[in-house]
Amino acid sequence: MSVWNPDNIRDIAESVGITNLSHDVTENLARDVEYRVAQVLEESLKSMRHGKRTVLTTQDISQALRTLDVEPLYGYESLRPLRFGEASLGPGQPLFYVEDEEVDFEKLINAPLPKVPREVSFTGHWLAVEGVQPSIPQNPTAADARSLELVSKGPNANQTLQAMSGTGDVAVKPLVKHVLSKELQLYFEKVCSAFLDETSEDYRTSGYASLREDPGLHQLVPYFVQFIAEKVTHSLKDIFVLTQVMHMAEALVQNPSLYVDPYVASLVPSILTCLIGRQLGGAAELAEQFALRDLAASLLGLIAKKYSQSSHMLKPRLVRSCLKTFLDPSKPFGAHYGAVIGLQAVGGTEVVRVLIIPNLAEYSKLLSDGIEDAARRPAAERVLNALVGVLASLRDGQASLTNGHPAIVTEDLRARLAEKVGDLIASRIAEANEVHLAQVVLEA
C-alpha cells in the first residue's frame, strides 16, 4: 500500500490522454512517485544542512534535482521561504496554498509609474582588421593600453607567482600532485638518450626493443609524444634525429600494452612532417631523405590501419593532406614522393585508382620538366619510380592477360596509356614491357 494516493496518478494520466489504467499500474506508479519524492527530499535536506540552515528553500530542491540528474524546476526561485496557508475542503481534506502578499489598491493606483525600460539592441564592430585595431569607441584606447603596461608583470607580480618562483614568502601547495615516479623518469631519460645515441647501434636497438615490448609505460606515452614533436620541430635539418624519433613512434604504436588512441592526433603531425615536409635533413644524402619518407609512410599506414576504427575521420584527413601536397606544383619532388607513397600506404589500391590515376596526365608534364632539369632530376626519378610502383600495386592478385600471345606493348596500347597517365609514365611502362600493368591501368 502506498502513502501517495493512486487517484492522483489516475488524474494526471487522464489529463495527458491516458485512460483505463489498471489498478496494479496506478499502485506501482504511486509507490515509485513516493520513492522519488522521498529521494528528492533527502537530497534537499542534505543541501540545507550543508548550508547551515534550518529552513528548506526552493534552491535546495533545485540543487537536489540537479544532483539526481533531473532537469530542475523553473520559476520557483525565491530569496525568502514561501509561506504556505492551509484551507479545509472537508473533513480530513486539507488544501495547502502559497499565501500571497496583500496589496492596497489605492497605494498601487497612486504610485508613480516605473521608468520605461530600454529596448534591447545589438551592434557589431571590428576588434581588428588584418591585425590592426581600428580607433572606434568600442575598442580600448591608447591610454588604456599604456595603463595596462604599467601593471606589474613577471614572476613577482603576485604572491602566487612569487611562491612558485621561490622569491616570495608565501607557501602555495601545488594543485596537481606529480605522480610520475623516479624510476619512470629515469627510464624516460635513458630511452630518449638511447634513441639519439649515434655512437652505439646496440644501445639504440635495446632502447627500441624496450619501448616496443615493455608493459607498464602508460604514464610515459604523452611524454614520448611530446618529445617526438619537439625533436621534429627543432631538428628538421638533422636526418639522424628525425629517423630515430620515427622509430620511437613506431615502437609506441607497435607496443601491444600501450593505449595510444588518445594521442594519435598529436602523433600524426610529426609523422606527416617527415613524410611530406619541404626540406628534410638539410645537406643529407638524397637516399637518406627518401628512406626517412619511406619509414614515415609505412608508419602512417600502420596508424591508419590500427586506429581507423576508433577515429573514423583519421583516414580521410590523412588522404586529404597527402593529396593536397601531391596536387601542389610549388612543392618539391621530395614532398610529392612522400605524398604518393603516403596515399598508397593509407588508402591502398582504391586511393590509387580514384585519386592518383586521374591526376597523372597533368602531373606527367610537371615530372617531365623536372627530369629535364639536371638539379631536380634525381628527385624526379624517385617520384617516377614511386608512381610506377603504386600503379603496379593494382595488378596484385590479378591473373595475366596475355592469353598465349607474346607480351608486347603495342603502339596503340602505348598511345591509350599515354592519354590516361601521360607520356613519361607510359614510356616507362612500355620500356619495361609491362603489358599486364598497362591493361590494369587502362581498366582502372
299 to each of 44, 160, 217, 274, how far by Cα in Å? 56, 45, 20, 11
pTM over 0.85: no
User: In the block, which residue shows the cell 646496440?
Assistant: 202
pLDDT in tens, 380-396: 999 988 988 888 888 76
Helix 377-392 and helix 435-443, axial crossing angle in degrees, nearest 10: 80
By C-alpha distance, which of 278, 391, 269 is closest to 334?
278
Bridge-partner residues for 132, per DSSP? 129
Distance (Å) of CA 388 to CA 125, 158, 358:
56, 65, 14
Distance of CA 185 to the CA centre of its chain: 28
| pLDDT computed for residue 124 by the predictor | 80
Q: Walk along the chain (444 residues) and give the pLDDT tens digit of each residue.
A: 567 788 888 888 888 888 888 888 888 888 898 888 899 999 999 999 998 888 888 888 888 888 888 877 766 665 566 677 788 777 767 777 777 778 888 888 888 888 888 888 887 878 788 777 787 877 777 666 655 555 555 545 555 445 445 555 555 555 545 567 888 889 999 999 999 988 888 889 999 999 999 888 888 999 999 999 999 998 888 899 999 999 999 999 999 988 888 899 899 999 999 999 888 877 778 889 999 999 999 999 999 998 888 888 889 999 999 999 999 999 999 999 999 999 999 988 888 888 888 888 888 888 888 888 888 888 999 998 898 888 888 876 555 544 444 456 677 777 887 888 878 888 887 777 666 777 777 776
pLDDT tens sequence across 396-419:
655 554 444 445 667 777 788 788
DSSP of 182-210, one letter per residue? HHHHHHHHHHHHHHT-SS-HHHHHHHHHH
* Whole-number pLDDT of residue 153: 53
Q: Where are the alpha helices (DSSP H) in 327-434?
A: 333-351, 360-372, 377-392, 411-421, 423-431
Residue 407 grid cell? 607480351
User: What pLDDT is attached to residue 155?
Assistant: 47
Task: Say yes or no: domain 182-391 is CATH 1.10.1380.10.
Answer: no
Give the start-to-end residue ranges of the domains of the chain.
Answer: 1-77, 182-391
Residues 6+ apart with CB under 8 A from 379: 286, 332, 333, 334, 337, 370
> How is residue 391 written as a grid cell?
600503379
Burial class (CB in 10 A: 0-12, 13-18, 19+), 414: middle
1-77: which CATH topology?
A: Histone, subunit A (1.10.20)
Q: Round to whole Å and give the CA distance between 343 and 349.
A: 9
Residue 372, pLDDT score: 87
Element (H, E) at 87: strand 84-88
Enumerate residues 6+ apart whose C-beta is below 8 A from 304.
Answer: 314, 315, 318, 345, 346
Q: What is the pLDDT of residue 166?
A: 53
The grid coordinates of residue 332 equal 618539391
Nearest to 346 by CA among 297, 416, 390: 297
What letters, b where the CB count within 10 A reaches 16 and e where it falls short, cover 18-44?
A: eeeeeeeebeebbeebeeeeeebeebb
| Alpha carbon distance 318, 238 (integer Å) | 25
Identify whether the C-beta of residue 10 lies closer than 8 Å to the C-beta of residue 26. yes
Contact 390, 346 (CB under 8 A): no
| 353 contacts: CB under 8 Å, gap ≥ 6 | 394, 444
300: left (phi over 0), alpha (psi -120 to 50) or beta: alpha
